[in-house]
Amino acid sequence: MKVIISGGGTGGHIYPAIAIANELKRLDPNTDILFVGAEGKMEMEKVPRAGYRIEGLPVVGIKRELTLANLAFPLKLGRSLLRARQIVRDFKPDVAVGVGGYASGPTLLAAALANVPILIQEQNSFAGLTNKVLARWAKRICVAYPGMDAFFPAAKIKLTGNPVRSDIQLADQQLDAGRAQFGLQPNVPTLLVIGGSQGARTLNESMEAGLSQLKQAGIQVIWQTGTAFIDRARKAVAQAGASQIQPHEFIYEMDKAYAVADAVVSRAGALSVSELCIVGRPAILVPLPTAAEDHQTHNAMALVNRDAALLVNDRDARQTLIAEARRLLSDLQQRKTLSEHIKQLAFPSAAVDIAQEVILLTSRNKVV
C-alpha cells in the first residue's frame, strides 16, 4: 500500500499527520508513506525527524492584507500543481490524505486528477476554504466535530476526532515523572500556559502582565513562550523574583506537562483542543482572532457551549486572563465539572479510525 500524506505549516497539522502515518505503519508495516509539505515550513524538519520521507512544494499562502507578496501566489501555486502532479506520477499512490495546510490543496488536486482516491481530515469545527473546494473529489472526509454536514456532503463524512500522539493518551501515568521533570512541588496549584508550537504573543504578554499576581498567589507555572519571546520572558521572571514560574521556549514532553497541570491556558487550535479533551484538563481558551475563518473561536465555542471549557477573548486577555486563571485554580468544583465534560468530547481512537478509512479506500480502489 502506497500513501501520500500532505499538509503542514503548523504543529496542529503536522502531528496529526504523523499520528495517522504511525498507525498505518502499525497496521501494515509494509505501507510505503510519502509526505508532501511546503518548502521552508516546519514539516520539512519535523517529518524526517519522525522517520518519514517528505517532498516540498513552493506553495505559499495568500495574505489577507494587500501586499506585493500576493503577486507571487499564482506563480507559486502553478509551480506547485506541476510539481505535485510529478510527485503523484512518480510515487503512484493508492490513496492520498490531506490534513490541511498550504501543500494539501495542490497535492490532493493532483491526486484526484490522476484518479487516486483522496481522504480529507478536517480538524476544525469550521471548515477551511481549501477543504471545502476539495470535498467534491474526496471519497471520505474525516471530521472532529458533529454538524460538519453544513460544509460537506453528509454521505462522505465520518466523525473520527483528531489524532493525537500516543504519549498524550498516557499522560495521566506521568504525574510523578512530570513533577521530577519540571521540579514542581506537590500540593501546589500548577498552571500550564501553551500558545502553540510557535508561542502566542497575547498569552505571553498576559503572563508578563500577571507575574506579580501569580507570584503572590504561589501558583507554579509552566510557560511555553516560543522562540521569539523566551529571552523577554526569562528577564521578566527574574525581575519579578518569581522562581516558581518556568518559561520554556518549547516543551517536547507535553505528556508530562499535561500530567502536572491543574489547569491549562491555551489557544484553541484543533490539535490543542483535541489534546485537552484526551487529557481531560480544565482549560481557559483564548482563540487567535486572526485564524482563517475565525476557526479557533468556533473550536472554543464547541467546548464552551458544552460547559467543557472557559473562554477569554484575545482583546481582553492582557487585563483579565491571569485573574481568571487564579479564580479557576481556586474553584475545585468548577475544575472537576470542566474536566468531566471535556473528557466526554475525546476521541482516543481517532488515528486508528482514520487509518482504517484510508485502508478501506485503498481496498475499494483495487477492487474497482
pLDDT digits (tens, 9 = 90+) for 195-215: 876 779 999 999 999 999 999
CB proximity list for 242: less than 8 A, separation 6 or greater: 211, 212, 214, 215
Considering the chain, what percentage of its residues have pLDDT values greater than 70? 95
Q: Position 286: which residue type?
A: V
107 annotated to bind ligand: no
12 annotated to bind ligand: yes
Question: Which pLDDT score, from 0 to 100, does residue 64 have?
Answer: 58
Q: Do domains 2-162+348-367 and 167-343 have the same CATH topology?
A: yes
67 annotated to bind ligand: no
What residues are paired with 186 via a beta bridge?
A: none
Mean pLDDT of 208-230: 96
Mean pLDDT of 8-30: 91
Question: Which pLDDT score, from 0 to 100, does residue 196 have?
Answer: 72
CB proximity list for 75: less than 8 A, separation 6 or greater: none
Question: Which pLDDT score, from 0 to 100, does residue 323 have?
Answer: 97
- Mean confidence (pLDDT) of the chain: 93
With both helix axes pointing from N to C terminus, report the angle between 317-329 and 332-343 in degrees, rounded to the nearest 10. Answer: 100
Distance (Å, rounded) from C-alpha 348 to C-alpha 332?
A: 26
Kindly state the cell numbers that stand for 260.
Answer: 502536572
64 annotated to bind ligand: no
Q: What angle do CA 72, 73, 75 make, to 5 degrees?
A: 70
Assess whether pLDDT exceeds 50 at residue 368: no
Question: Which pLDDT score, from 0 to 100, does residue 187 have?
Answer: 92
Range in 52-66, 253-267, 326-340 with the lowest mean pLDDT = 52-66
251 annotated to bind ligand: yes
Considering the chain, what percentage of its residues have pLDDT values greater than 90? 82
Q: Position 284: which residue type?
A: I
233 annotated to bind ligand: no
24 annotated to bind ligand: no
pTM of the full predicted structure? 0.88
Q: Is 353 exposed, middle or buried (0-12, 13-18, 19+ CB in 10 A)?
A: middle
273 annotated to bind ligand: yes
Q: What is the CATH number of domain 167-343?
A: 3.40.50.2000
Distance (Å, rounded) from C-alpha 296 to C-alpha 302?
A: 10
Domain spans of the chain, in order of start: 2-162+348-367, 167-343
197 annotated to bind ligand: yes
339 annotated to bind ligand: no
Q: Position 158: which residue type?
A: K
Assess whether pLDDT exceeds 50 at residue 367: no
Kindly state the cell numbers that stand for 137.
Answer: 473529489
80 annotated to bind ligand: no
Kindly state the cell numbers that stand for 363.
Answer: 481496498
The string over 219-231, giving b where at least 16 C-beta atoms fall within 10 Å of a residue's C-beta and e elsewhere, is bbbbbbbbeebbe
The yes or no reply on domain 2-162+348-367 and CATH 3.40.190.10 is no
What is the edge-to-edge ordering of all strands in the sheet holding 190-194?
A: 245-248, 220-224, 190-194, 263-266, 283-285, 310-311
